[in-house]
Amino acid sequence: MCSRYYRFKDLKDLITRFKIAQILSTLGLQYNIAPTDLAVVIPATDNDRIAKDLIFGIINPFMKGKSSLLMNMRAESFVEKPHFRPYLLNQRCLVIADGFIEWERNKNGKKMKQSIPYRIDPRNHETVGLAGIWDHEGFVIITTEPNPTVAEIHDRAPVILRREEEDVWLDSNVKDFTKLITMLVPSPSDALEKAAISTLASNSKNKASEILIPVSGH
């Protein structure tokens, strides 16, 4: 699961990085993006790219009669469950992030009591695009197997697209299922680094930049 992430670079500084033609977002920097928060995504298009605000999470379309919130889609589901495939083919988006937060899990995959949160950053400290799916006014993040850095604390990780893959992902004319699914893989083993941070990050109401400061002893 990936239920928290952050963006601490201004969108104006990312125009060239993501080839953004228009910014419709009104959001400032965000240090603890949680489900139901507004966040910035770039929907796939056959025209100029627009950065806009959508809600993190969608109503689960596969649970009839219930209003459970879906934050993630597993990459494997697009292969194993045909009804997931139209999302991959038609409703892709890029989620702008500088890193994400995960909590250490026990052997059964459960978050432990007093679990220490970790910030996980690209080792090169560049802003990245997470693979996402949008639906109506919301979006979800696609997850996959973790690379070795994340695997030490968690059994899932968001798909971080390689820069050379972003143009394909954001081209709505691309309908090649095989090409798209091959992008949904773990990050290279040396691509990420992690650091323990304050347990204040566990409360989604804490939005200050201080929650991302690494703490010693872990």
Q: What is the pLDDT of residues 59-106, one digit of tens each?
A: 887 776 556 889 999 999 999 999 999 999 999 999 999 999 999 865
Contact 41, 139 (CB under 8 A): yes
Q: CA-CA distance, 15 to 85, in Å (whole number)?
A: 30
pLDDT tens digit string along 189-212?
A: 999 999 999 999 999 999 999 999
pLDDT of res. 64 = 66
**3, 1, 2: which is closest to 204 by C-alpha?**
3
Query: Which amino acid belongs to residue 75?
Result: A
Q: Whole-angstrom Cα distance, residue 152 to residue 166?
A: 28
Could you name the CATH architecture of 5-100+122-189? Answer: Alpha-Beta Complex (3.90)
Q: Which of 118, 90, 92, 86 is nearest to 104 (CA)?
A: 118
> What is d(CA 163, CA 166) in angstroms, rounded to the nearest whole number?
5
User: Based on the number of CB atoms within 10 Å of its own CB, is 23 exposed (0-12), middle (13-18) or buried (19 or more)?
Assistant: middle
pLDDT tens per residue across span 10-39: 999 999 999 999 999 999 999 999 999 999
Residue recorded with tokens 């990936």: 2
Helix (H, G, I), strand (E, B) or coil at 46: coil
